[in-house]
Amino acid sequence: MATGWLRGVVKEVGSGDSVVLVAAASSSFKTIPPQCHSVRQEKRVILSGIVAPRLARRDGSTVDEPHAWSSREHLRRLLVGREVTFRVDDLIRDKGIEFGTVFDSGTGENAAVAQCAAGLARCKDDPKTQQNFEYFGQAMAAEEGAKKKGVGQWAFSSDGGQGVAREGGPKRKVLQVGTGEGRVSPEDLVAKSSSPSGGPKTRLGCVVESVGNPHVLRILLKPVKGETQKREFVSATIFLCGVTCPLVQRRRQDQDQQPAGPEPYAVRSKVFVENAVLGRDCEVCFEGLDKYGNVYASVYTDKQGTSLAEQMLELGLAKTLGWSQKMLASLQGSRQRQAERKAKDGREGVWHGWEPSSEGANGANGAGASRRCLVTEVVSGDTVVLLDVASESGSATLGGEERRVHLASVRAPRLASRQRGESQGEPWASEAKELLRQRLVGREVTCVTEYERKVPLGGGGGQQQQQTRTLTFCTLTYEEKGQGGQAKTVNPSELLLARGLAQCQAHRSGDDTASNYDDLCDCEQRAKEQKKGIHGTKKPSGGAARVNDLSVNSSQQKSRQFLPFLQRGDRVGATVDYVLSGHRFKLLIPKQAVAITFALSDVRCPARGEKHSDDALRFARVHCMQRDVEVEVDGVDRGGAFTGRLLLQQRGGGGGGRRVDMAEQLAARGVALVNA
């Protein structure tokens, strides 16, 4: 049964005498509707009148016949991606096998005749084929010409004979990725791209054999230079690094559940990948492994071109995947994020209905709003407490409420939590907090709200699971004098990352990020390369110092034992760990490794519940909380608290400043009475 002549596009080549065709109308990914629920139809056609050497099975149960790989490669380079004119000549109905004639529409070349002319296929010798195959005479003439030239499988033997196919010949060995003898481990596969000197990773030649979901490819890695004689190929399944795509094949949650259809834009994304790389000569760069041993890699269609992942992101056919993007070099990850941002702005593909978030931290002062604030407390390495600064007076607005904000797109090591029963925090957590304390406390900063996140409260059942709280994430900057007296802008988030005291958050695709996210990733990458902080093997130098806490369950007798050590010099350096009231503080004295309760001896502020007690407490928090101070210890009261003067160093324009008596400041503010 012969059909009329049809037009199609060669999707892939399975062997030296078979091709997979798709309709020309569905060959472009742009013609695939977003909500397409089925993959495009295909037709596998075996070339009429010829037979090519058989390739080995994928399970390794057979080996390649001589010249089988060369035959497949010749037909692949000849037809993949080309528009062809074809006709079905015969059909075996019970097996669904179709035989046909295929012509390259551009060159008019008959694929079967071209294979015979290259000596990589032979004509069938059965009478039925000779009678039914219209172009059998041309194929036979091409085969005779190949024999005379001694090409392909008809190469001349050592005794000068010709016209007989060689029994020997180059054979390939295909190694699978896995564990065990005769396999290539995932670690060894990734090491093939690694540079011994730590330079840029090496790209390796490969052929993409199949496409599952758009970001999952099965490749055949070619032998590298110097190992071509071994003829060892590696078959591996890889995931595109840094991206995730809509799924064409979704896993069933239950065995009895009906299979779910493709997600929106999944088929379009898969068609784009098939058109770009399936059956093509590509380059692959192995980036790393996930915790399950899956291989993540970047695929390039040419030496100078952008990666396949970047092309998909720019067309809106994929989304960035933060945790796998960390395997990439900082420049490559930045290019991926820029490509996704371009697709968002153009509402391409999966971003067709995307709108930037308009709700910010405080309604009118929403995302992107900038304000001047005073840092009153550092809670952890990525969390601070701010107080708005009045623009008309330039001083702290003490009537406003303090608010807790988090550094956008940054995660610092966690401190120990009493609520979780932790006695020790993560390594480098104290160093990250101390860096922010030294840099930010008492300093005016510019706060730009980037985004908000709602997180659940508690871990109990019932209604408690439905309760949430809103966290505000901001970017903070401040000005300081650099070399030559010129002012420079400092971003504490970049400072933390550059010193290896924090990590960039691995955002999900579509989530809001810090406006300078690329700069943050660059800082983190430099810290990784230099093995600083959490990225190195060195332990924190400070460690968890033991502190004798006299502020808890202390007595007058116990405090008097430490009094001589605190009165040796005129003043003792300390840090205000907590403000208990307007005139009462918890101080940490590093030199003596002791924490004490300290009360101002010259003034007394209203007790809790009394008039102006909140004003006194707020004033003390704004001016003393977590500041480096000096104290002059006079004695010990009946409760075991040390008494004396507290001198605070005001921050000056050049980083200095004069020392002021906190008692005088409270009295001048009108929130304290002088002791008689």
Return the axis-axis angle of helices 330-345 and 517-529, rounded to nearest 10°.
170
Least confident interval from 10-14, 543-547, 573-577: 543-547
Residues 500 and 580: their CA atoms lie apart, in Å, by 34
Task: Decide the pairing of beta strands 50-51 and 122-123.
Answer: antiparallel
- List all residues 6 or more positions away from 230 whose beta carbon is below 8 Å from its beta carbon: 173, 223
353: three-class secondary structure by DSSP: coil
Please indicate whether residue 554 or residue 118 has the higher confidence score (pLDDT): 118
- List all residues 6 or more positions away from 474 whose beta carbon is below 8 Å from its beta carbon: 361, 405, 406, 407, 408, 447, 448, 449, 450
Residues 275 and 298: their CA atoms lie apart, in Å, by 17
DSSP type of residue 34: T
- Residue 21 pLDDT class (50, 70, 90 cuts): very high
**Kind and range of the H or E element at 666?**
helix 662-669
Residue type, 440: L
DSSP type of residue 499: T
CATH topology of domain 6-154: OB fold (Dihydrolipoamide Acetyltransferase, E2P) (2.40.50)
* Residue ranges, CATH 2.40.50.90, the chain: 6-154, 173-250+260-351, 370-415+425-535, 548-674
Q: Report which of 510, 70, 578 is spatially closest to residue 320, judged by C-alpha positions.
A: 510
Half-sphere CA count of 431, side-chain side, radius 13 A: 18
> CA-CA distances (angstroms) from residue 660 to 615, 630, 645, 647?
19, 10, 10, 5
DSSP type of residue 583: S
pLDDT tens for residues 258-313? 667 889 999 999 999 999 999 999 999 999 999 999 999 999 987 667 899 999 99
Q: Report which of 102, 297, 83 is spatially closest to residue 208, judged by C-alpha positions.
A: 297
Residue type, 583: H
Spatial contact of 315 and 344, defined as CB atoms under 8 Å apart: no
CATH topology of domain 173-250+260-351: OB fold (Dihydrolipoamide Acetyltransferase, E2P) (2.40.50)
Residues 635 and 643: their CA atoms lie apart, in Å, by 5
228: three-class secondary structure by DSSP: helix
Q: Tally Cβ neighbours within 10 Å of residue 651.
A: 14
Specify the pLDDT at position 543.
54
Q: Which residues pair with 295 in a beta bridge?
A: 238, 289
Least confident interval from 167-181, 531-545, 598-612: 167-181
pLDDT tens for residues 87-129? 998 888 888 889 999 999 999 999 999 999 999 999 988 877 7
For the chain, how many helices (H) and strands (E)?
15, 33
Residues 585 and 565: their CA atoms lie apart, in Å, by 19
pLDDT tens for residues 362-384? 333 455 678 889 999 999 999 99
Residues 236 and 248: their CA atoms lie apart, in Å, by 20
pLDDT tens for residues 623-648? 999 999 999 999 999 889 999 999 99
- Residue 253 pLDDT class (50, 70, 90 cuts): low
> CA-CA distances (angstroms) from residue 312 to 24, 26, 269?
22, 19, 8
pTM of the model: 0.73
Residue identified by tokens 């590509």 is: 282
Phi (first) and psi of residue 7, to 5 degrees: -115, 140
- Helices within 358-484 (DSSP H only): 429-440
Q: Is the dihedral of CA 437, 439, 442, 444 positive or negative?
A: negative
Whether pLDDT at 359 is above 80: no
pLDDT tens for residues 129-168? 777 788 888 999 999 999 998 898 888 655 555 545 544 5
Query: How far is C-alpha 277 from the geometric centre of its chain's CA atoms?
Result: 23
Burial of 587 from C-beta contacts in 10 A (0-12 / 13-18 / 19+): buried
Q: Over the Cα atoms of the chain, what is R_g? A: 36
Q: Is CATH 3.80.30.20 what the domain over 370-415+425-535 is classified as, yes or no? A: no
Whether pLDDT at 16 is above 60: yes
Architecture of domain 548-674: Beta Barrel (2.40)
Residue identified by tokens 């290019």 is: 335
Spatial contact of 596 and 550, defined as CB atoms under 8 Å apart: yes
Residues 349 and 190: their CA atoms lie apart, in Å, by 32
Q: Tally Cβ neighbours within 10 Å of residue 111.
A: 26
Whether pLDDT at 464 is above 50: no
What does the block give as tokens for 580? 């208990």
Q: Report which of 134, 135, 131 is spatially closest to residue 116, judged by C-alpha positions.
A: 135
pLDDT tens for residues 225-240? 766 566 789 999 999 9
DSSP type of residue 259: P
Residues 438 and 375: their CA atoms lie apart, in Å, by 11
Specify the pLDDT at position 676.
67
130: three-class secondary structure by DSSP: helix
